[in-house]
Chains A and B, each alone.
Chain A
Amino acid sequence: MNKSVLPSVWRFLGLVAVQGLLLHQVGSAINEYFNVLLYPLFILLLPVQISSTVAVLLGATIGMAVDMFYASPGVHASAGAFSGFARSIILAGFKPKGGYTGKEPIPSPVYFGWPWFLQVAGIYFAAHLFWYFSVNAFSFVYFTTITAKTLVGWSLTMIFVVLYCILFNPKN
């Protein structure tokens, strides 16, 4: 039990710290389009078999933690909860032949390969970013800005996601 939980706890703490202390500061210093949201990786890399209810609750939790750094109560929490739910649907959509066997504890490139992971992560982060910027703008009057921020943010975030996976090669 501890073996499967601990890595997630460390990932939670590490990603919140990197997001709040580093990426947020860098983004604020550069411009409003420079948004790298790496913390949803915690939700994506949760155990494959975890129920969507738990994923939603954990997503909201990490979102709340990030909100403390961004001084935006509720915004990242909303996006985190949404991503927890979206993850279940995306993983179901990309189910390998024969389904998830249980030999792959988390949906990472080590177990499913890079092409599979990039597709899943690509869709997952696009959904997360679009939801986040929508809640942040709070009106579809800003649809163009929301879409532009999503596109730029997605491109930057995916680079960091790939770097993270190469550096840490998450296995559980």
Chain B
Amino acid sequence: MGQLLQLIIRNGGFFTLLLVEAFCFYVTVQYNTKQNAIFTHTMGLASGNMLERRQKWVDYFSLEERADSLKSANGALLSELAIAHVVQVPYRDTFLTVRLDTLHFGDSIAVRKIARPQYHFIAAKIIGNTINSANNWLYLNRGKNDGLRPDMGVVTGKGIVGIVRHVDPNFSAVMSVLHREARISVTLKNQKALGSLVWEGGDPSLMTLRYVPRHFDVKVGDEIVTSGYSELFPRGVPVGKVASQPEPDKENQYFWIMQIRLSQDMSSVNDVYVVDNIFQTELDSLKQKVKDE
């Protein structure tokens, strides 16, 4: 306090100047029309500028929240996209499955009524992931309360990730595609040749594709997508590319065996979508009926 007083006394002229100038500034703005107009205008600009800066900060700090809502929106769009590719159209006493882009009457009300969503996507974040075990698991920040059930597929925009196995109220455990028990039904994108994708350990970016019949001409670089027959994954989700020359399977000479390089890098997967097959219960009960017969 004493030092402060000494400082003020030593620099008395300067502090007096500051006080007098502050007073003069007030009087000038208060009693001079021109200066008042300039001051009001400048303050208007400054406060507008400050408000804009404040808004930018608010926007910055709400980025996570906004990203979350965007992911949800993306999930909803993916759901729509899944039904947008293929629709069933009544034809005489049966239904024809037609790709939407080949329909000339795609906008008609009749088609829209028939087009029903089969999948809906739930956005989730990975909170735990392993890739170096013989059987790998992932953990999601979504659970039963978010609509997750066992046996739901997990995908990203780039490819497949795994299958939900255990569900708690708020979290769930996902069997990674890098798990020896995981079997994914896939197809060659251009040739519709079905196969089964398994992981035999080792390199986490490579999986083995089995049971592709030998009469298919498979080349390195051919794209692999999900077949849509497993009900876990929608048809056509990218999986990877053929990475090695197909060889006859030693266990079964009628089929090719080949390595597939995954399109989704499992070591850097972060945001995912859980695939909710809306008709899963209906399909399950149908299968049960067949079993019971």
Find out whether the CB atom of A73 lies under 8 angstroms from the CB atom of B42.
no
Find out whether the CB atom of A74 lies under 8 angstroms from the CB atom of B20.
no
Find out whether the CB atom of B32 lies under 8 angstroms from the CB atom of A73.
yes
Find out whether the CB atom of B25 lies under 8 angstroms from the CB atom of A74.
yes
Give the shortest distance, in Å, between A162 (CB) and chain B (any CB): 28
Find out whether the CB atom of B14 lies under 8 angstroms from the CB atom of A85.
yes
Find out whether the CB atom of A53 lies under 8 angstroms from the CB atom of B38.
no
Mask of A48-75 contacts with B, CB within 8 angstroms, 1/0? 0001110111001001000000001111
What is the bound-complex CA distance between A53 and B10, given in angstroms? 10
Is B2's beta carbon under 8 Å from chain A? no
Give the shortest distance, in Å, between B25 (CB) and chain A (any CB): 7
Find out whether the CB atom of B32 lies under 8 angstroms from the CB atom of A53.
no
B38 cross-chain contacts in A, Cβ below 8 A: 138-139
Give the shortest distance, in Å, between A2 (CB) and chain B (any CB): 25
Find out whether the CB atom of B13 lies under 8 angstroms from the CB atom of A85.
yes
Give the shortest distance, in Å, between B176 (CB) and chain A (any CB): 65
Q: Considering only CB atoms and an 8 Å cut-off, how many residues of chain B contact the other chain? A: 22
What is the bound-complex CA distance between A57 and B29, given in angstroms? 20
Chain B's closest residue to A89 (CB) is B13
Is A81's beta carbon under 8 Å from chain B? yes
Find out whether the CB atom of A75 lies under 8 angstroms from the CB atom of B20.
no
Is A82's beta carbon under 8 Å from chain B? yes
Is B146's beta carbon under 8 Å from chain A? no
Find out whether the CB atom of B24 lies under 8 angstroms from the CB atom of A74.
yes
Find out whether the CB atom of A53 lies under 8 angstroms from the CB atom of B35.
no
How many residue pairs link A and B with beta carbons under 8 A? The number is: 72
Given A138-B34, A138-B39 in contact, is the A78-B21 Cβ separation under 8 Å? yes
Mask of B13-48 contacts with A, CB within 8 angstroms, 1/0? 110110011011111111110110011001000000
What is the bound-complex CA distance between A3 and B287, given in angstroms? 119
Give the shortest distance, in Å, between B144 (CB) and chain A (any CB): 65
**One of A56, A72, A75 near B16 (C-beta < 8 A):** A56
What is the bound-complex CA distance between A127 and B32, given in angstroms? 23
Is A157's beta carbon under 8 Å from chain B? no
Given A53-B12, A85-B13, A138-B34 in contact, is the A73-B20 Cβ separation under 8 Å? no
Give the shortest distance, in Å, between B189 (CB) and chain A (any CB): 65
B13 cross-chain contacts in A, Cβ below 8 A: 51-53, 55-56, 84-85, 88
Mask of A116-153 contacts with B, CB within 8 angstroms, 1/0? 00000000000000000001001100000000000000
Q: A74-B27, A77-B24, A138-B38 are in contact. List 20 more A-B contacts (CB 8 A).
A: A51-B13, A55-B13, A56-B16, A60-B24, A63-B24, A74-B30, A75-B32, A75-B35, A77-B20, A77-B27, A78-B20, A78-B24, A78-B28, A81-B17, A81-B20, A81-B24, A84-B13, A88-B13, A135-B24, A135-B35
Chain B residues within CB distance 8 Å of chain A:
12-14, 16-17, 20-21, 23-32, 34-35, 38-39, 42
> Which 6 A-B residue pairs are closest in the complex by CB-CB distance?
A52-B13, A74-B27, A74-B28, A78-B24, A81-B20, A53-B12
